[in-house]
Amino acid sequence: MYTTNDFKRGLVIQLDNAPCLIVDVSFQSPSARGANTMVKTKYRNLITGQVLEKTFRSGDKVDEADFERHKGQFLYSDGDRGVFMDLETYEQFEMEADAFSAVQPFLLDGAEVQLGIFQERMVNVDLPLSVELVVTETAPALKNATAQAQTKEAVAETGLKLQVPPYLEAGEKIKVDTRDGRFISRA
């Protein structure tokens, strides 16, 4: 069991029979009358993906989630689902279409990821902070286009559409931020 004193970003707790990742936590003292400190949390339900808020009283207890992180690998996409393998046990897991569609644009076959396992089933995939992808389609490079911050649309090998600088050409390898799908640099 965890108490509210243990709360911090990245902690996984169990609320309503689901693993929940604490995204943000703040402690507030309501007044000088001796009232309990309130602990406001923002958390993401790892099964549904919903981001919710909940306020606890100082000292409240919550259950520890039966949640483990394992080193994993993306094997292939099966239609609109993804198949992953736990690199410790070699067990394979399927990710449902709605959750897989959020991570699919950043995954190449064989990519290493972190798998979130809850009660012996995969509920979450953590991507690395950045991935390297090859640009497959983009407009031709513009010469001397460095005076202003211009961008053009490009399509990566996974189908990800993003804005890139005008000097990039098709066939170049780029680094992409997996949190927001933004171009970082050439690879």
For the cut 90, the answer to whether the pLDDT of residue 137 exceeds it is yes
Do 182 and 134 share a structural domain? yes
Helix, strand, or coil (residue 83): strand
Residue 100: count of CB within 10 angstroms of its CB? 21
Give phi and psi for 69, each to the nearest 5.
-105, 130
Do 72 and 59 share a structural domain? no
**Nearest residue to 122 (alpha-carbon basis) of 177, 173, 169, 84:** 84
Query: Final residue of a domain: which of 86, 108, 126?
Result: 126
**Nearest residue to 84 (alpha-carbon basis) of 127, 20, 131:** 127
Q: For position 120, what pLDDT does the model report?
A: 87
Structure tokens at 158: 């996974």
Do 119 and 155 share a structural domain? no
CB-based contact 36:59 (threshold 8 Å):
yes
Kind and range of the H or E run holding 103: helix 97-103
- For residue range 52-62, list pLDDT tens digits in order: 999 998 889 99
Query: Final residue of a domain: which of 126, 151, 172?
Result: 126
Confidence of residue 163 (pLDDT cuts 50, 70, 90): very high
- List the CATH number of the domain containing 14: 2.30.30.30
For the cut 70, the answer to whether the pLDDT of residue 166 exceeds it is yes
Do 41 and 22 share a structural domain? yes
* Cα–Cα dist 115/99, whole Å: 13
Number of domains composing the chain: 3
* Cα–Cα dist 81/88, whole Å: 22
Do 138 and 109 share a structural domain? no
Do 137 and 118 share a structural domain? no
Do 59 and 8 share a structural domain? yes
Do 79 and 37 share a structural domain? no
Domain hosting 175: range is 130-186
Do 114 and 75 share a structural domain? yes
More confident residue, 187 or 112: 112
First to last CA, the chain: 44
Do 52 and 86 share a structural domain? no
Mean pLDDT of 12-29: 90
| Whole-model pTM over 0.95 | no
